[in-house]
């Protein structure tokens, strides 16, 4: 059985009452547009300098993915850490942008407008992080509530696993049609995120209560990360709208099931706790 580390334990001590939809977050929508601009700029870079083009695409996608992963999980400290990674990746994108400008692949106006977008996102992420810090300072978390506590039906783990396997297989199928230069970027990242869902679901069985919550919470983050990569993929026309809708809906279904499952785990633990005391 896997043990929870001290760091993880600290992260688990600060629970959010519910998770919001990341697409409602302005920073996320702006990061998606920033990513689109970076992809446009990357197209102007000659194949000789493909390293910096890949770096630009990878880092800007990572900003989006970390915002999604951070927002869709139940622990403030994890959210804070993901937002911090977004900040770091945003700095990489802006630094790569400077190098590209110096090498003359883009003109000053394109550079300034793209950099300004980056700066706006930076400010938004800082505000989000400050908000989390204020929440953490208040130190009065509702430890009992995870989401809508009214568990409607029993969530079977095998049913969840089946849906997650279908989701992963569909993703493995669609990445075949991605351009080959996305191998180290989108293909690699979305494949890893989708496989992480299955790995974490496997960890849920026969583990302790906090470990179960932690694994399910990581699943939530990975699904949201996949959905973020799908947003980028449909924007870049790597996948069709139909494929996007199918995957996005299935991802949403799994997300809801995991939240329900987390509620069940919490409820069972509380009942057991009451019985003992």
Partner 1 sequence: MAKVENFRTFDVYNRSIDLSMAVKQIINGCKADLTEYEVGVLYKNAVIIPNKIAAAIGQVNMKVRFKKLNEAKSTVIQLQTIMLDLKRRKKIDEQLWQEVDEYSIEVMKLLNGYFGWISKSKEKIG
The number of beta carbons lying within 10 Å of the beta carbon of residue 195 is 14
3-state SS, residue 141 = coil
Minimal distance, residue 52 CB to partner 1, in Å: 5
Contact pick of 89, 215, 222, 233 for partner 1 (by CB under 8 A): 89
DSSP state, residue 105: S
Query: Least distance from C-beta 163 to partner 1, angstroms?
Result: 35
Least distance CB 35 / partner 1 (angstroms): 17
Backbone angles phi, psi at 254, to 5 degrees: -65, -40
- Residues 208 to 227 in contact with partner 1, rule: CB under 8 A: none
Residues constituting the chain: 277
Subset of 102-141 contacting partner 1 (CB under 8 A): 102-103, 122, 126, 129-130, 133
Note whether 52 binds partner 1 by CB under 8 A: yes
| Residue with the two structure tokens 């630009």 | 56
Local structure of 250: helix, strand or coil: helix
CB of 92 to partner 1, least distance (A): 5
Q: Least Å distance between CB 91 and partner 1?
A: 3
For partner 1, which stretch binds (CB under 8 A), given 35-43, 91-99, 209-217, 266-274? Answer: 91-99
Shortest CB 125 distance to partner 1, Å: 9
Q: How many CA atoms lie within 13 A of 110 on its CB side?
A: 16
Is position 203 an interface residue for partner 1 (rule: CB under 8 A)?
no
- CA-to-CA distance for 256 and 164, rounded, in angstroms? 12
In whole angstroms, the minimum distance from the beta carbon of 31 to partner 1 comes to 15
How far apart are alpha carbons 83 and 78 in whole angstroms?
9
Select from 264, 242, 46, 227 the least CA-distant residue to 152: 264
Q: Residue 168: which of 229, 253, 251, 262 has the closest Cα?
A: 251
Q: Residue 37 or 97: which CB sits closer to partner 1?
A: 97
- Which tokens go with 8? 């993880």
Q: Which stretch binds partner 1 (CB under 8 A): 87-95, 223-231, 244-252, 256-264?
A: 87-95
- Are the C-beta atoms of residues 203 and 192 closer than 8 Å to each other? no
Give the CA diameter of the chain: 70
According to CB under 8 A, which one of 3, 18, 40, 98 is a site residue for partner 1?
Answer: 98
Q: In the complex with partner 1, which residue's Cβ is closer, 97 or 214? A: 97
Q: Which of 71, 72, 81, 185 binds partner 1 (CB under 8 A)?
A: 81
Helix (H, G, I), strand (E, B) or coil at 75: strand
Q: Which of 9, 95, 144, 208 is the binder for partner 1 (CB under 8 A)?
A: 95
Sites of contact with partner 1 (CB under 8 A): 49, 51-52, 55, 59, 81, 84-85, 87-92, 94-96, 98-99, 102-103, 122, 126, 129-130, 133
């Amino acid at each position: 059985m896997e043990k929870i580390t001290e760091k993880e334990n600290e992260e688990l001590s600060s629970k959010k009452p519910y998770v919001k939809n990341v697409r409602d977050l302005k920073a996320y929508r702006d990061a998606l547009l920033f990513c689109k601009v970076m992809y446009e700029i990357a197209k102007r870079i000659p194949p000789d300098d493909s390293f910096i083009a890949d770096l630009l695409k990878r880092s800007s996608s990572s900003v989006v993915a970390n915002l999604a992963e951070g927002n869709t999980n139940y622990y403030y400290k994890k959210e804070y850490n993901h937002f911090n990674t977004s900040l770091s990746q945003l700095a990489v994108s802006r630094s790569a942008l400077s190098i590209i400008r110096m090498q003359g692949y883009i003109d000053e106006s394109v550079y300034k407008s793209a950099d300004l977008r980056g700066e706006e996102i930076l400010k938004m992420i800082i505000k989000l992080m400050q908000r989390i810090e204020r929440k953490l300072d208040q130190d009065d978390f509702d430890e009992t509530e995870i989401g809508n506590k009214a568990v409607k039906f029993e969530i079977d783990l095998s049913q969840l696993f089946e849906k997650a396997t279908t989701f992963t297989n569909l993703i493995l199928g669609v990445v075949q049609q991605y351009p080959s230069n996305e191998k180290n970027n989108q293909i690699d990242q979305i494949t890893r995120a989708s496989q992480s869902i299955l790995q974490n679901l496997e960890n849920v069985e026969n583990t302790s209560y906090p470990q179960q919550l932690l694994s399910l919470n990581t699943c939530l983050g990975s699904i949201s990360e996949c959905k973020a990569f799908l947003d980028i993929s449909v924007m870049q026309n790597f996948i069709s709208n139909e494929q996007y809708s199918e995957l996005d809906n299935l991802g949403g279904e799994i997300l809801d099931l995991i939240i329900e499952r987390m509620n069940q785990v919490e409820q069972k633990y509380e009942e057991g706790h009451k019985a003992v005391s």
